[in-house]
Structure 1
Amino acid sequence: MEENKNKASAADYLANERTFLAWVRTGMGIMAFGFVVVKFSLFVKQISFILNGEDAPELPADHGHSSALVGIILVGLGVVAILFSYIRYRSTNKQLETGNYTHSSLYISLLTAAILLISVFLVYYLIRS
């Protein structure tokens, strides 16, 4: 009877899978936002070119590059979030199989810190622009 007490139930495995899928959706959302930021910087360049004509000066050089850089970083962060979510999913699954589950919030803390840093950078960038 004691042996079955530590074994994971189907609900535990399904909860692990739901958590994994939620993290995948989060990563995809971060990647989509990064894609929009990159494409918006290209859109602003095109509109500036159309409105100002060929002889007009362009936007400052760092304007488009900063947006593109932020977008690329966000896409990369989304990929990292999905990768970490898979690693965590596999680790939790293995722990459930052995009956030795221990909670860890390392990945959540790392992703939260990364998103916070990028958010601060975005606020700074928006204020500076």
Structure 2
Amino acid sequence: MTVSLYDRLGGYDAIAMFASRLVDQAKSDDQLGRFWANRGDDRIARELQLLIDYLVRETGGQMYYTGRQMLQAHAGMGISESDWKRFIEIVTGVAGELGVGAPEDGEVMAFLDALKSDIVNV
């Protein structure tokens, strides 16, 4: 039996911790922080929960995602190639802090690479 990426990453709690640290670091980042500027705490909390739901679903967990598709959600945000590279640096750093193994890290990076064209729009 094949074990899902969701289970290999540690399930809901581990994915929620990853997403929370990722968003916290990106919000305070000099380059990426502008995407969270002028947003209320309630909106940021909702977006974080949507990110968690999305990641849980996409990695094989049992979660219903109610958010928009990535292309629609990121349209008009002005996300550049430079922003994407910085985001990936943060993802890699957080994954390392949490002890994500090489096979899982590779799967996560392949998943993110598949989303890039829907997110980078400058």
TM-score w.r.t. the length of structure 2 is 0.33
Bigger proportion of residues as helix: 1
Report 1 or 2 for greater relative contact order, CA contacts < 8 Å, sequence distance ≥ 6: 1
Q: Which structure is larger by alpha-carbon Rg, 1 or 2?
A: 1
